[in-house]
Amino acid sequence: MTSQIIKTPCIGLCSTVYGDLVCRGCKRFHHEIINWNLYGDEEKRAVWLRLELLLVQVMTAKLEIFDSTRLRDQLEQRQIRYLPEQSAYCWAYQLIARGARLINQLDAYGMSLLPEFRGWSLPQLRDAIDREFFLLSEAHYERYIAPRFLLEGMHTRV
């Protein structure tokens, strides 16, 4: 595997510069992107954990990993960056996101699509996963973060 340590969820496709409250690339919230370098380890871990939990929710509804060692070996062989401490379902996302057009048989990578997705192409699946991951992140923002910002704004005006 590449010796580079992944220090941020950023994937270089930031949409918050265009006014999105949730980045369509990394799925972080606008204030998390702005403040990332100011965050301590605990705050960064909280962001990483939320992203992992949402992504795993999406991935487990689409595929099954039956051999995580094979998946990890394939990621390393193809030099695809991943976080070893995260769920193997996050690793699977990294593989599909980077290699959707090159992969012919998912079982060679230790995973298989659930029956309802077996007719889908991997680029189609990758795009669906990305959309659902974004929608969950956006819903999380609307449910838990936006109301807090509204309340904080009201308290500063009083």
Report whether pLDDT(56) > 90.
yes
| Better-scored residue on pLDDT, 19 or 29 | 29
pLDDT per residue over 115-131, tens digit each? 999 999 999 999 999 99
- How much is the pTM? 0.89
| Whole-number pLDDT of residue 148 | 74
3-state SS of the chain is CCCCCCCCCCCCCCCHHHCCCECCCCCCEHHHHHHHHHCCHHHHHHHHHHHHHHHHHHHHCCEEECCHHHHHHHHHHCCCCCCCCCCHHHHHHHHHHHHCCCCCCHHHHCEEECHHHCCCCHHHHHHHHHHHHHHHHHHHHHHHHHHHHHHHHHHHHC
Please state, for a pLDDT cut of 70, what percent of the chain lies above it.
91
| Whole-number pLDDT of residue 96 | 96
> Once rounded to an integer, what is the mean pLDDT over residues 136-142?
95
| Better-scored residue on pLDDT, 34 or 13 | 34
